[in-house]
Amino acid sequence: MNRFSARDPMRDHLLTPQNAALIVIDYQPTQVNSINSMPRASLVHNIVLVAKLAKNYGLPIILSTVNVKNGSNHDTIPVLKEALGNIPSYDRSTINAWEDEAFYQAVKATKRKKLLMAALWTEACLSFPALDAILEGYDVYPVVDAVGGTSPLAHETALRRMEQAGAQLTTIAQVACELQRDWARKETVPGFVEVMVEAGIFLQLK
């Protein structure tokens, strides 16, 4: 028996498939097209990989958009919506998703206290709910290579503010390894390898 098998996956201080949820906010055409902190194609590629990881490990996923129902904005970009599968989307008018009752109740309903967060922009729709969630006792993990801001400065400053408030910055590779943790969990290895290959971290030899 390894030490991991003796740890409670619900109470583990590290991320596990049993204690984490993924929050995805505002990956819509207008927001994607205003990102200037990283190449937009890379941003889209990376958030799709995060979605695939969440699906591979069975994490609850909360998806939110802004201003779709009132006709002033478009829905989640199709490539991400396809990767997320048939899940509800919580549309809202608030910049801060945490202030939307339906979204907030959906997060609470997951009964997960560790929230992987990805949103556009870093300086608004990510940082605001992250700061609120931290105040309510959640552990928040912004996935830094799958989020972006209107400028490198705006993005980095927002990450620093969240980190100072207690957010635990993470990356796609770290999330994948933290959720997998043990190669003996063979059922999730193929999905893990697929994401790592698509991310360019693993070299596909076959």
The two tokens of residue 23 are 């929050």
Which alpha helices (H) appear in the chain, and where do they start and end?
29-32, 40-56, 78-84, 101-109, 127-135, 152-165, 172-180, 189-198
3-state SS class at 20: strand
User: Residue 2 CB: number of other CB atoms within 10 A?
Assistant: 9
Catalytic residues: 125
